[in-house]
């Protein structure tokens, strides 16, 4: 589990994240890293690629150390961040 800070505001049940957290998304086995609203999936231990790497040819990436701290991020994306709805049970459902 990453040690993270979480900061967000809600507009009509849509949560917009500014900082860094690990989220559980409906239909995804593994947690995603969320940085400023963009999501990253872990492709090998501690290496994270943008979840739109293929679909949007996005080269954003991040690295965490073995303690789960963020040690590198290239947060330049070719697309807008996805929007999520958060359920009562704390699960994320992608809505765009």
Interface contacts to Zn ion, rule CB under 5 A = 50, 52, 58, 60, 77
d(CA 4, CA 88): 21
Integer-rounded Cα radius of gyration of the chain: 13
Q: Closest approach of Cβ 62 to Zn ion, in Å? A: 11
How would you list the strands of the sheet with 70-74, edge to edge?
20-23, 32-35, 38-44, 47-50, 61-64, 70-74
Nearest to Zn ion of 25, 60 (CB atom): 60
Tell the smallest beta-carbon distance from residue 77 to Zn ion (Å). Answer: 3
User: Considering beta carbons, is residue 3 or 55 the nearer one to Zn ion?
Assistant: 55
Q: Which is nearer to Zn ion, 20 or 50 (CB)?
A: 50
Least spacing, CB of residue 58 vs Zn ion, in Å:
3
DSSP string, 37-49: TEEEEEEETTEEE
């Amino acid at each position: 589990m990453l040690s993270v800070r979480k900061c967000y505001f809600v507009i009509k049940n849509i949560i917009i994240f500014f900082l860094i957290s690990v989220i559980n998304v409906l239909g995804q086995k593994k947690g995603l890293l969320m940085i400023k609203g963009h999501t990253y999936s872990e492709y090998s231990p501690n290496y994270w690629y943008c979840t739109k790497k293929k679909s949007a040819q996005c080269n954003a990436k991040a690295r965490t150390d073995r303690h789960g701290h963020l040690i590198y991020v290239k947060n330049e994306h070719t697309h807008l961040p996805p929007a999520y709805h958060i359920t009562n049970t704390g699960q994320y459902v992608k809505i765009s």
